[in-house]
Amino acid sequence: MKTIFSSMKHSYFSKIGILLIVVALVAGIVSCVPADTYELIMAENPAGAGTATDETGTSPYAENKVVDIKAVAAPCYRFVGWTAPTGTFGNATAAETTFTMPARDVTVTANFEPVPPDHYKFYTVDWEEGLYVGKEVQLVDQFGTFNATVGDPVSFGNPVQKIHNDDVTPIADENRHYTLYSLGYGEEEPMLDSWQVVVKNQFGENQELTVVGPYYLAVPTTKEGHEEPVCLNHFLVYEVIGKEFPEVGVNLKDQFIEEDVVVWEPIYFANPVQKTIVDSGEVTEIEDRDPHGHLVFYSIEDIGFNESIEKSIQIANQFGNQTLDLTYRDVLAVPSQKISWEQPLDHFKCYWAMWADEPPPTFPAEVQLEDQFITEWLGEPLIALVGEPAFFANPVNKWHGEVWTPISNWNDHYTFYYLEYEEMTPVWEVTVSNQFGIDQVLYVGGPDMLAVPTKKGLHDWPVGLDHFLVYTVLGEPPVLNEEIWLWDQFTDQPATVYPAAYFANPVQKIHGSEVTDIKNDEHLVFYWIDGGDFYEEWLPIDNQFGPQVLMVGQDDIDFIGVPSQKVNFSIAPD
């Protein structure tokens, strides 16, 4: 029994030993398996604005692993902060920091933004000989293409900190500076156009500006003791006319002086511009990164004695090295968003017109015409013959009281031709509003003339102009007695505005197979005005009816066409 029991005992403990060994081995094997690890993915927002790097550089990582990360902004951008769907940052706003891994794959994003635009305080440059640049440039902005010569430096802009109503706008980049140069256009200054621009900035929403030009070029500039500025646009600078602005007090601090000033009316508006230096062919493109990429220049006056600063500075830019003597600070340039812009319909001054020779072979011309009146009355186009010229219309600058309405486009002209057709048309009651009054009720008949967009002489072809059907005002229209001053390429004269003579609707015209659709919902009311001293000018023109030569002149009584809103219309009661 003892022998048997001893054998059994030995066998039992042997099995236990083997089992313990197996368990120990299994435990050892398990202890050698590494813990779970997770991928760390680095990303940038927006793409190309900078780089995000894993400085530890050994992804994948276990949970709770602390990783060194770094963000570096690209030129023109700055680091904003880190974001991740999970995990922990040592400091989410520091470009160099740590990230503690979660128990999952994770993307860590470095976020960047464009370096914000600066405000600038501009100082008048004291004129001296030897500063004239004389470089020919081609300038292209949203308004057009301009060929000009860069002249003298007239103003220098420092970046400036602005405090307005306790709202501090710090300097974003102290290396940013601008020099403002005059622009010349040769012996004969061009007839510069105007635009209606709506902007917004820290001084207000929906500021409506009438701008004319361009007159100046703002050039990024290196000031002695500073680095060369980067990521700055050139600006094409236009004058702002006839705009009042309530006074606003701000504190301005730049490298020259800290002072309290009063901000007055806007005097300049600036578009980013592509610049090409003609002799070298060097092109500077527009960098479009910021919606507030325009500037509005406001007149400023310091609260004090307005003493000269008398600073002499050394600068360098694409036009070379210059020494500028600065005097008064007079302008604050404010980053602004351009909400909209347009070239509105011009005022037009009418002159009598006739063909200087035999009628061109294209006349009479058959056309199909359709405006709101014809659609309402006839339900189909009016078929008419276009005959002899009646008037020629120039765009015209107008002073009315203290309001100057400049020409928007010097290429826009009209030739008025008499119409012949068979239908008997009704009389229309039309209510219009314009600068000479609201809700003027006119009774009109016709149409009697067709106003055709026309190329005059060496001008370019007009773009975007509607044809107009011209109706005669009947009865006794509202009496006007407004004093104005008119200036166009023919005459410069004072005039008195009398009652309305004609009303013009935009019209669709079909001539042969060519269809000219209505482009704008704009109207004109033509008022009688005093004539002037202008007689028998031979005028070559061209339009959709072909080249012609007109004899144009002025009588004792003429007309001015005024852009107007058609409030309502209906067939007049019998």
Q: How many CA atoms lie within 13 A of 393 on its CB side?
A: 29
The residue among 292, 310, 342 that closes a domain is 342
Cα–Cα dist 33/77, whole Å: 46
pLDDT for 484 equals 96
CB 415 within 8 A of CB 550: yes
Cα–Cα dist 397/387, whole Å: 30
Judge whether 2 lies within some domain. Answer: no
Nearest to 335 by CA among 171, 496, 180: 171
The residue among 114, 144, 161 that closes a domain is 114
pLDDT for 188 equals 63
Judge whether 25 lies within some domain. Answer: no
Beta strands in 457-556 (DSSP E): 467-474, 482-487, 492-511, 514-516, 523-530, 537-543, 546-553
Cβ neighbours of residue 4 closer than 8 Å, sequence gap 6 or more? none
Q: Do 137 and 104 have their domain in common?
A: no
CB 354 within 8 A of CB 389: yes
Q: Which helix (H) or strand (E) holds 20?
A: helix 2-31
Nearest to 102 by CA among 137, 133, 67: 67
Q: What is the pTM of this model?
A: 0.84
Judge whether 478 lies within some domain. Answer: yes
Judge whether 15 lies within some domain. Answer: no
Cα–Cα dist 425/371, whole Å: 13
Q: Do 255 and 368 have their domain in common?
A: no
Residue in the structure block whose two tokens are 């050698």? 32
pLDDT for 309 equals 85
**Residue 10 exposed, middle or buried by CB count within 10 Å (0-12, 13-18, 19+):** exposed
Cα–Cα dist 561/417, whole Å: 16
Tell me whether the omega of the peptide bond preceding residue 364 falls within 30 degrees of 0, making it cis: yes
Cα–Cα dist 503/70, whole Å: 69
Q: Do 156 and 200 have their domain in common?
A: yes
pLDDT for 231 equals 87
* Beta-bridge mates of residue 149: 136, 184
Q: Do 407 and 328 have their domain in common?
A: no
pLDDT for 305 equals 57
Residue pLDDT tens, the chain, 574 long? 344 334 433 443 344 343 333 333 334 444 444 579 999 999 999 999 999 999 999 999 999 999 999 999 998 899 999 999 999 999 999 999 999 999 999 999 999 998 999 999 999 999 888 899 999 999 999 999 999 999 999 999 999 999 999 899 999 999 999 999 999 998 766 778 999 999 999 999 999 999 999 999 999 999 999 999 988 999 999 999 977 777 899 999 999 999 999 999 999 999 999 999 999 999 999 987 666 789 999 999 887 656 678 899 999 999 999 999 999 888 999 999 999 999 999 999 999 999 999 999 999 999 999 999 999 999 999 999 999 999 999 999 999 988 899 999 999 999 999 999 999 999 999 999 999 999 999 999 999 999 999 999 999 999 999 999 999 999 999 888 899 999 999 999 999 999 999 999 999 999 999 999 999 989 999 999 987 777 778 999 999 999 999 999 988 788 999 999 999 999 998 7
Q: Do 556 and 451 have their domain in common?
A: yes
Nearest to 45 by CA among 108, 110, 93: 110
Cβ neighbours of residue 73 closer than 8 Å, sequence gap 6 or more? 49, 50, 79, 95, 112
* Beta-bridge mates of residue 110: 44, 82
* Beta-bridge mates of residue 557: 530
Q: Do 300 and 418 have their domain in common?
A: no
Q: Do 487 and 402 have their domain in common?
A: yes
pLDDT for 282 equals 93
- DSSP secondary structure of 145-189: EEEEEEEEEEEEEEEEEEEETTEEE--S-TT--EEEEEEE--SS-
Q: Do 380 and 310 have their domain in common?
A: no
Judge whether 253 lies within some domain. Answer: yes
| Cβ atoms within 10 Å, residue 27 | 9
Structural domain of residue 531, as residue ranges?
348-571
The residue among 324, 342, 360 that closes a domain is 342
Q: Do 218 and 290 have their domain in common?
A: yes
Judge whether 22 lies within some domain. Answer: no
Q: Do 108 and 123 have their domain in common?
A: no
| 213, 349, 496, 563 from 558: Cα distances, Å | 30, 8, 11, 17
Core vs surface per residue 340-371: b (16+ CB within 10 A) or e: ebebebbbbbbbbbeeeeeeeeebbbebbbbb
Q: Do 164 and 221 have their domain in common?
A: yes
Number of domains in the chain: 3
Judge whether 4 lies within some domain. Answer: no
Q: Do 203 and 336 have their domain in common?
A: yes
Sign of CA dihedral 120, 121, 127, 130: negative
Length of the chain: 574
End-to-end CA distance of the chain: 143
pLDDT for 337 equals 94
Q: Looking at this protein, which amino acid is placed at residue 107?
A: T
Sign of CA dihedral 193, 196, 199, 204: positive
Strands 294-302 and 167-169: unpaired
For 452, the 3-state DSSP assignment is: strand
Judge whether 265 lies within some domain. Answer: yes
